[in-house]
Amino acid sequence: MEEILKDVDLSMGLSSEEALKKLEVYGYNELPEAPKPTLMAQFLEQFKSILVLILIVAAVISAFFGEIIDTLVIIGITILNAVLGVVQQRRAESALEAVKKLSNPISKVLRDGKIQTIPSREIVPGDLLILEAGDKVNCDGVLVEVHGLMVDESTLTGESVPVTKVTATDSSNITEESMVFMGTAVTKGRAKVLVRSTGSNTKLGQIASRMKELKKERTPLEIQLDVLGKILGLTFVVVCIVILIMGLLRGIPFEEMILTSISLAVAAIPEGLPAVVTIVLALGVAEMARRKAIVRNLPAVETLGSVTVICTDKTGTLTQNKMTLVEIYTDAIHLSEEELNASMVPYELQRAMVLCNDATKETGDPTEIALISWLPDEVIDKFRATNPRVYEVPFTSERKRMSTVHKFDDKYLIVSKGAVEVILDICTYELVKDNRIAPLTETRKSAILSVAEGLASQGLRILAIAEGRIDNPPHSDEEVEKNLLFLGLLCLKDPLRPEVKEAVESCRNAGIRPVMITGDHQVTAYSIARELDFPEGRVLTSNDLANLSDEELAEHIEDVSVFARINPLDKLKIVEAFQKKQEVVAMTGDGVNDAPALKKSDIGVAMGQSGTEVAKEASDMILLDDNFATLVSAVFQGRTIYENIRKFVVYLLSCNIGEVIIMFFAIIFGYPAPLLPLQLLWLNLVTDSFPALALGMEPGEPEIMNRHPRGKKEPLLTGYHMGIILTQSIAIGLATLLSFIFTYNNGNLSEARTVAYMTLVISELIRVFSARSFETPFYRTRISSNKFLFYSILGAFALLLISVYIPPLARVFNNVRPTIRDLDIIIPFAFVPFIVSEIAKLIRRP
């Protein structure tokens, strides 16, 4: 401790040069993580797959029967699959790592005599950390200055009640009450902390060092697909065994049938679906981050498509959070924005706006900046120098006011500002014309409230401000906030974000109900809701909620469009009421007291600019620009990602089932196997890799926001999608089987197998264009909108041609060069699945 205290100026903090030197000595302020797997470890991990083991068995059997070329090709395909798996895994990890960096926590420190905001990982021992309500503590440190600080230490102690903190008197008398610890959260007050330990040297870091092994989170969708893959896998294995037995009964050599059955199992079993889903989710999350929505956990992407209600804050989310003081109302004057100058505004009002204010013209809360931005710098500096602050009662969303106490000659000046009704409750006098003081009667209070409502109906935010005087410095909050002198009303305008109205309309078209939750006056909130075309509905306040039981609120909640004058803790009650009506709720929040509602909601959305670290920690998603339109865009992206996953799952399963149909019915009808093992494996590599993955990267269809939200318990594949799979599987199987039979009856077996192989591969590459949408016809989609798909198809087609037209490879795959007559069969049949898919879309359309 003494080493850290040495040479630290508590009024200046470290210099930038000192901080840089300490960073080199102590390292970044990061908790230890489990080491990432090496490239070789990831490569070897690919060989733990059951399908790879089946492939290895196939290679052993081929070698046993002397098929050295087949053995080498199978091993080559196995290695190539493993390489592709590693590449895709690394790409997904890189995407998620890039997103993670965007949501790194930040902290405020005093350096070079100025308060600076820095990434929390750059905090060093000896720094002076500035803490406020809602901040996450990102180090261990000693409290050198405390103003009503309370800290939630439940992450370390399990104790849910916040702990009151005190200032450390000296370095020899430091207790846990005079320290803060990494991982805890400030619930009330503010403080200055001398950083003692960072990273792995903190109390939390020592715990983390013993708990490095963290199990990777699996999303519900991955689990669902894993189960689906196992069910289908077991089914296909049984079918392959049946095909093996039937082939042997037909007199087909055991060697050929065992390899064919194993290869068909490898090609048909969709074992890789969960891995592909992870990649698509990761790439989708990266795209959402590019659009300023940071997803903190992958399951949130799935939930976004099910959201039916968005509960949104007003200030900064629907509005620009660029406050401007536009009117001042007192008993003596009513000034518009054009009339605001130091000569027109009463001296007492100017002083109050400066003193009960933590902002400067450049930094601070937008509301507080607006209250002083119109004043000359010398006026601000004079008030603050003449009347230094000695005590404060911080603003909280529950109290809806802030009070400060200042030295005032030989007495003390109290200044309070906040919600009109709250300030009027603690006032007994009013400053009237000619600077006279008059009693503030209940009749006069009602008149002021009526004026405030009239101003609020114009969409203005209204604050009341008051002052008082006491003889001695206060010892409790209760001494400060009573018997004050009402000075006037301050009216602020916060312009609406221009893109929000369109976003609200998009919400409503998508079957999502937007609901405003704000601490502002109900008249202000309702005025803005009507301007933005929110659904017509009731306006409820915290007082109304207090008079409603949970059951009564749930009964009426779907009739409410605006919650005004809301205590943040009431947000939890609102979320629970919507959820009782089976709604899927996205809730926005920025304050420490929003955390319970953010955690309880289906999608907790924190504000990246104005949000506290506690709110961000409790959230599933962070909006970097605090914009409602970004949230709606994230819903669109969430729906798109989920729909794309459906597309490639339907595409892959159609092909897999189609392959089983081809082999099964060929043997039933007495024909040889239409496809050889190596052809099946190559087909699996060609169609199941890049074209399928490219479907997961489709841009969103505009119509997707004209559909109602997906049901919360709706499976990935509904009866509708099962019908598409069945139709497509039959079309694929029939087209390929008929092309094989026609050629076999008029040619030789190798030629027929080549025709079947080419028909199947080309039909899959053509069909992928139809698979881009379940409803939109092919001619209405733009090929250029998914360049990866276009290049994937070109690459897959090149692999097909190589396996047919390059003589050495053609011999390996038992392919022969197709004749003009063969192409006359291949091309028409290859279009059959595509045509069937497009006709089915027309039939399905309402």
Catalytic residues: 313
Half-sphere exposure of 572 (CA within 13 A, CB side): 10
- Distance CA(590)–CA(614), nearest Å, equals 8
Output the six-digit token pair for 426.
Answer: 């603690």
- Distance CA(699)–CA(250), nearest Å, equals 49
- Distance CA(131)–CA(191), nearest Å, equals 5
How distant, in Å, are the alpha carbons of 292, 452, 675, 794 from that of 327? Answer: 35, 11, 81, 65
Return the closest-CA partner of residue 266 out of 88, 84, 77. Answer: 77
- Distance CA(709)–CA(698), nearest Å, equals 19
Tokens 């039981």, residue?
549
Q: Is the separation of the CB atoms in 679 and 757 below 8 Å?
A: yes
H/E element, 480: helix 477-480
Residue 436: Cβ-neighbour burial (10 angstroms; 0-12, 13-18, 19+) = exposed
Question: What is the dihedral sign for C-alpha 756, 759, 765, 766?
Answer: negative
Three-state SS at 486: strand
Q: Is the separation of the CB atoms in 183 and 156 below 8 Å?
A: yes
Residue 9: Cβ-neighbour burial (10 angstroms; 0-12, 13-18, 19+) = exposed
Q: What are phi and psi of 307, to 5 degrees?
A: -60, 130
* Angle at alpha carbon of residue 177, lines to 175 and 181, rounded to 5°: 90
How distant, in Å, are the alpha carbons of 4, 85, 96, 298 from that of 100? Answer: 32, 22, 6, 12
Output the six-digit token pair for 719.
Answer: 């009866």
Return the closest-CA partner of residue 675 out of 690, 655, 692. Answer: 655
Q: Which is it for strands 140-152 and 621-623: parallel, antiparallel or unpaired?
A: unpaired
Position 808, amino acid? P
Output the six-digit token pair for 266.
Answer: 């490898």
Secondary structure E strands in 100-235: 106-111, 114-119, 128-132, 140-152, 163-164, 179-180, 185-197
Return the closest-CA partner of residue 768 out of 658, 694, 683. Answer: 694
Q: Is the separation of the CB atoms in 287 and 622 below 8 Å?
A: no
Residue 355: Cβ-neighbour burial (10 angstroms; 0-12, 13-18, 19+) = buried
H/E element, 598: helix 595-600
- Distance CA(767)–CA(77), nearest Å, equals 24
* Residues facing residue 324 across a β-bridge: 493
- Distance CA(813)–CA(807), nearest Å, equals 10
Determine how many CB atoms are found less than 10 A away from the CB of residue 160. 8
- 628-668 helix and 500-509 helix, angle to the nearest 10 degrees: 40
* Angle at alpha carbon of residue 470, lines to 464 and 476, rounded to 5°: 80
Output the six-digit token pair for 687.
Answer: 């169609």
* Angle at alpha carbon of residue 133, lines to 3 and 470, rounded to 5°: 100
Position 89, amino acid? Q
